């Protein structure tokens, strides 16, 4: 068991060495994701002259009962502007096998959110994420979403070629 843990940690360290990630954070959910639970992140100061790609990270277990995931994601700018997106991501293949990376019953999905973003305003940017999953034919959303264990984001610098 000790050898397996060492191998996994070594792989993670080596994989992270070839990354252009400049910021990332993840938060664990304590139990089901309530429809009113907002996951919030404050983005550290970025170089205003550079472009970045922003990704969402979702970790799910086998308890996640759906093929897709709907999220409402807001980016709040320092001077009061807010951009709100309703996003749909596919989480499983048609045969029911999970998309994403991971061993066993846990999978992590790195999902596109924003491309070629500039953080040009002085101050704090915030990202807020809520789940907006609904069952077919239901008006009300799923109040307690099972199977999502972690929610996060990462920001990667766009490298000029």
Predicted pLDDT at 138: 80
- Report CA torsion sign: 141, 113, 93, 27: negative
- 21-157 folds as Jelly Rolls (2.60.120)
Q: Are strands 82-90 and 21-28 parallel, antiparallel or unpaired?
A: unpaired
How far apart (Å, rounded) are the C-alpha atoms in residues 153 and 41?
8
pLDDT at 3: 52
Looking at residue 105, what is its pLDDT? 86
Q: What is the pLDDT of residue 135?
A: 85
SS3 call for 41 = strand
Maximum alpha-carbon separation in the chain: 51
91-105 confidence digits (pLDDT tens): 999 988 899 999 888
pTM of the model: 0.84
Q: What are phi and psi of 135, to 5 degrees?
A: -80, 150
What is the per-residue pLDDT across 13-30, written as a single tens digit (0 to 9) for each? 444 455 799 999 999 999
Q: Give the N- to C-terminal CA distance of the chain in Å, as an integer.
A: 43
Q: Which residues of the chain have pLDDT under 50?
A: 2, 4-16
């Amino acid at each position: 068991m000790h050898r397996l843990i060492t191998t996994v940690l070594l792989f993670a360290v080596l994989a992270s060495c070839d990354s252009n990630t400049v910021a990332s954070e993840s938060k664990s959910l304590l139990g089901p994701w309530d429809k009113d639970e907002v996951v919030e992140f404050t983005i550290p100061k970025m170089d205003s002259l550079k472009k970045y790609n922003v990704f969402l990270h979702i970790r799910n277990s086998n308890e996640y009962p759906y093929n897709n995931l709907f999220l409402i994601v807001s980016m709040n700018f320092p001077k009061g502007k807010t951009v709100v997106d309703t996003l749909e991501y596919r989480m499983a293949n048609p045969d029911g096998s999970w998309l994403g990376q991971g061993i066993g019953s846990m999978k992590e999905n790195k999902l596109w959110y924003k491309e070629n973003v500039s953080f040009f305003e002085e101050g704090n940017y915030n990202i807020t994420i809520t789940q907006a999953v609904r069952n077919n034919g239901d008006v009300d959303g799923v109040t307690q979403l099972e199977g999502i264990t972690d929610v996060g984001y990462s920001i990667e610098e766009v490298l000029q070629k």
